[in-house]
Structure 1
Amino acid sequence: MSKYMLIMRGTDESNAALMAGFEELAASTYQYIEELVKAGVFLAAEGLDDPGQSVVIDFNGAAPVVTDGPYGETKELFGGYFMIDVASKQEAVEWAKRIPAVTGSKIEVRRVAGDDEMPAFVEERADSETTGRI
């Protein structure tokens, strides 16, 4: 089994459509989560607040620069995610195709790398287990 993140991406237009039909979409999403749970693949799901409430920390200069709001040139924004544990990428895609979404939305399917795929982290964790510190 592998973990996959199903990332909800939207535009200003699709986000406005989502808000216009929020009650219906929320009910459909609740049903979808119930299906994931019944199938035994559900790990987590969360939506994000309005991107206008965010801050961006830019590391392009000598010191990080903090600005209000989402990225200035972004056409699509990350709106939330589902985390599932399935046997294959194709199974993750099939689940993603069933997500209740409004026209103009996109779902990105991305596998979550395991600890064994990040050698530096694995080595640090092994060291911390023997020395008691990270």
Structure 2
Amino acid sequence: MKYLILMHIDPAVLESLTEEQQQQIGEGHGQFMATTKENGEFISTQALGDPSTSKVVRSNGGGPEVTDGPFVEAKEFMGGFYLLDVEDEARIVELAKLIPDASIPGLAVEIRPVVFSDLGDG
């Protein structure tokens, strides 16, 4: 079963981390990717740009309108994701706990099952 692990970022928390803590996060993500690749569970991962660079397209009543910034005002934003294919929910929870962000107060990971997928394979 495919699951998406969303990484929620609070910029203030990231700014308060020491250089050592930042290095531990990077190394932890490297280990997470290595483990899930080795187990055949890894599909992909993407890190996303800061929300200040985003655009939102939504209806203004007469058609689509483009605005700057995130959809909602919030201190947290989605910083990236992992797409994994695992045996069951218990396994994805086990893996999510390995992501270093899950151990840092103010950061979080969210697990959501994939209910539809089209990878564009032809």
**Judging changes above 3 Å, is the alpha-carbon distance between structure 1 residues 68 and 75 closer, same or farther for their aligned structure 2 residues?**
same
Give the Å deviation of 1:89: 1.2
Inter-partner Cα distance in structure 2 for 1:27 and 1:76 = 23
**Judging changes above 3 Å, is the alpha-carbon distance between structure 1 residues 77 and 17 closer, same or farther for their aligned structure 2 residues?**
same
Inter-partner Cα distance in structure 2 for 1:63 and 1:18 = 43
Inter-partner Cα distance in structure 2 for 1:105 and 1:79 = 10
User: 2:23 maps to which residue?
Assistant: 23
**Judging changes above 3 Å, is the alpha-carbon distance between structure 1 residues 78 and 87 closer, same or farther for their aligned structure 2 residues?**
same
**Judging changes above 3 Å, is the alpha-carbon distance between structure 1 residues 83 and 19 closer, same or farther for their aligned structure 2 residues?**
farther
**Judging changes above 3 Å, is the alpha-carbon distance between structure 1 residues 59 and 16 closer, same or farther for their aligned structure 2 residues?**
farther
Unaligned runs of 5+ in 2: none
Larger radius of gyration: 1
**Judging changes above 3 Å, is the alpha-carbon distance between structure 1 residues 40 and 16 closer, same or farther for their aligned structure 2 residues?**
same
**Judging changes above 3 Å, is the alpha-carbon distance between structure 1 residues 114 and 51 closer, same or farther for their aligned structure 2 residues?**
closer
Inter-partner Cα distance in structure 1 for 2:78 and 2:17 = 14
1:58-97 to 2 correspondences below 5 Å: 58-97=58-97
Unaligned runs of 5+ in 1: 116-120, 122-134
Identity across aligned pairs (percent)? Answer: 32
1:122-133 to 2 correspondences below 5 Å: none
Superimposed CA distance per residue, residues 54-96 of structure 1 (whole angstroms, 9 cap, x where no aligned partner): 1111225221121112234234311100111111112111111
**Judging changes above 3 Å, is the alpha-carbon distance between structure 1 residues 23 and 80 closer, same or farther for their aligned structure 2 residues?**
same
TM-score when normalising by structure 1: 0.74
Inter-partner Cα distance in structure 2 for 1:95 and 1:61 = 43
Q: 2:111 aligns with which of 106, 109, 112?
A: 109
The alignment of Structure 1 onto Structure 2 pairs a total of residues equal to 115
CA RMSD, 1 decimal: 2.2
TM-score when normalising by structure 2: 0.80
1:5-16 to 2 correspondences below 5 Å: 5-16=4-15
